[in-house]
Amino acid sequence: MNSSDFDFVSGLLKRRAGIQLTTDKTYLLESRLAPLARKEGLASIEDLLQVVRSRRDERLISQIVDVMTTNETFFFRDKTPFELMKEVALPDLSSQRKPRIRIWCAACSTGQEPYSLAMMLEDNPVLTKGAAVEIVATDISPRVLEKAKSGLYSQFEVQRGLPIQMMMKHFKQKDDLWQISDKIRSMVTFREHNLMDQPTMFGKFDVVFIRNVLIYFDQPTKSQVLDRVSSVMNPGGYMLLGAAETVIGISKKFEAVKERRGLYQAVGGANKSGIRAA
């Protein structure tokens, strides 16, 4: 791929999805665009990009963004975020006697993250002390959302991170695949959302999982995304980042919870002693 084609696609990805692509990722670009070109009946990546350039074909542009997303995920990924929910966030939120606890999984990929939360909540009703829980899960990619909604996972996927007892309890076998129960599926609402846009349509949240997506953005984009996230959070609400991500030097809208790596609180809520500011 020549450098002007590379610049064209990487500019497109940056503008559309915030995703930063450095030239050392050229192979990635090629390996993902080649199948798309073929699927579109075009002879080469060059032809594909030519079509996009000359027609500004929105459908094709979305597909390019879609294939360039990295959707790696698995059930109960990294474990700690779920422990932090159990040990810190949910006890605090349920002690506030909220009638509803609202959770947003931004960048949910194929659904393992929101479904892990749903299974955990279903299996531990004491965690929410009778509060209704709403889980909204979003991603930029219609392709992964489709799969997430189906709740269908391969044998390989249900063996990554999912304890066997949970699989037995919450999944049914469907031919070669495993489908999560209707009950768990009904606890999660999936919607398409681009983190470059203001997430106003979903209301305010008490918890936001935004894990393993900031890593694809540059510094200013990370700040903007975290600002947007904080604007839809209730004060004192909790945010969970991926293991390689932080707010330090990126956003002042969140404070790290002491000795709880990966857990942040939206500024303006409870102070360290747990007493709510007026």
Partner 1 sequence: MKRCLIVDDSRVVRKVARRILEDLKFDTMEAADGQQALEQCRADMPEAILLDWNMPVMNGIDFLRALRREPGGDRPTVVFCTTENDMSHIAEAIRSGANEYIMKPFDSEIIESKFAEVGLV
Ligand X SMILES: C[S@@+](CC[C@H](N)C(=O)[O-])C[C@H]1O[C@@H](n2cnc3c(N)ncnc32)[C@H](O)[C@@H]1O
- Interface positions with ligand X (CB under 6 A): 17-19, 69-73, 77, 107-109, 113, 139-141, 144, 194-196, 211-213, 216, 242
The distance of closest approach from Cβ of residue 87 to ligand X in the complex, given in angstroms and rounded to an integer, is 19
Q: Is 175 in the site for partner 1 (CB under 8 A)?
A: no
Nearer to ligand X, 116 or 234 (CB): 116
Q: Is 179 in the site for partner 1 (CB under 8 A)?
A: no
Cα separation, 103 vs 205, in Å, equals: 6
The distance of closest approach from Cβ of residue 191 to ligand X in the complex, given in angstroms and rounded to an integer, is 11
The distance of closest approach from Cβ of residue 59 to ligand X in the complex, given in angstroms and rounded to an integer, is 17
Give the range of 131-139, 161-169, 193-201, 203-211 binding partner 1 by CB under 8 A.
Answer: 161-169
Q: Is 273 in the site for partner 1 (CB under 8 A)?
A: no
Nearer to ligand X, 98 or 160 (CB): 160
Nearer to partner 1, 131 or 166 (CB): 166
Amino acid at 127: L
The distance of closest approach from Cβ of residue 161 to partner 1 in the complex, given in angstroms and rounded to an integer, is 6
Task: Look up tokens 């007493």; give the residue.
Answer: 275
CB 33 within 8 A of CB 46: no
CB 234 within 8 A of CB 265: no
Which one of 43, 126, 168, 248 is in contact with partner 1 (CB under 8 A)? 168
Q: Which of 165, 59, 176, 187 is closest to 111 using CA atoms? A: 187
Task: Look up tokens 């700040």; give the residue.
Answer: 223
Q: Is 198 in the site for partner 1 (CB under 8 A)?
A: no
User: Could you please report the per-residue DSSP string of 56-122?
Assistant: --HHHHHHHHHHHS-----TTTTSHHHHHIIIIIHHHHHHTT-SEEEEEEES-TTTHHHHHHHHHHH
Return the bridge partners of 133, or none. Answer: 101
- Residues of the shown chain interacting with partner 1 in the complex, contacts defined by CB under 8 A: 74, 155-156, 159-161, 163-165, 167-168, 172-173
